[in-house]
């Protein structure tokens, strides 16, 4: 199992705490330290789509011009933005055996995971 995110993100911290409290082994992948690749993001986008992977509530999205925001309309345009500004990726992304099983953190969703 892999958890992708940024270590100082509050949502990532909640997910890590939940996983630790439930004795679930995982590898943490730090976007800041390791970056994100086109292959990784493309795989996620194929599985869950850009609407679920794009974080529109954070300051990075808020700082984008309306013109740039209007261009994000599909997996391809979202991919370009995510590669340029990884902070717009919804965090954390929880992956099991290469399959995205959760984005963000919601305790009810995590409690219902089939692990």
Q: What positions carry a catalytic annotation?
A: 9
State how far the Cα of 19 lies from the Cα of 110, in Å rounded to an integer: 9
d(CA 110, CA 101): 9
Q: Cβ contacts of residue 11 below 8 Å, gap of 6+?
A: 5, 91, 92, 104, 105
């Amino acid at each position: 199992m892999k958890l992708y995110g940024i270590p100082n993100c509050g949502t990532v911290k909640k997910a890590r705490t939940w996983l630790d409290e439930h004795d679930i082994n995982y590898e943490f992948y730090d976007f800041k330290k390791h970056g994100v690749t086109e292959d990784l993001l493309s795989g996620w986008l194929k599985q869950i789509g850009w609407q679920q992977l794009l974080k529109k509530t954070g300051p990075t999205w808020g700082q984008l011009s309306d013109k740039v925001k209007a261009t994000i309309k599909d997996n391809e345009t979202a991919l370009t933005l995510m590669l340029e500004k990884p902070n717009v990726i919804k965090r954390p992304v929880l992956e099991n055996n290469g399959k995205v099983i959760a984005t963000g953190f919601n305790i009810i969703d995590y409690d219902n995971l089939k692990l």
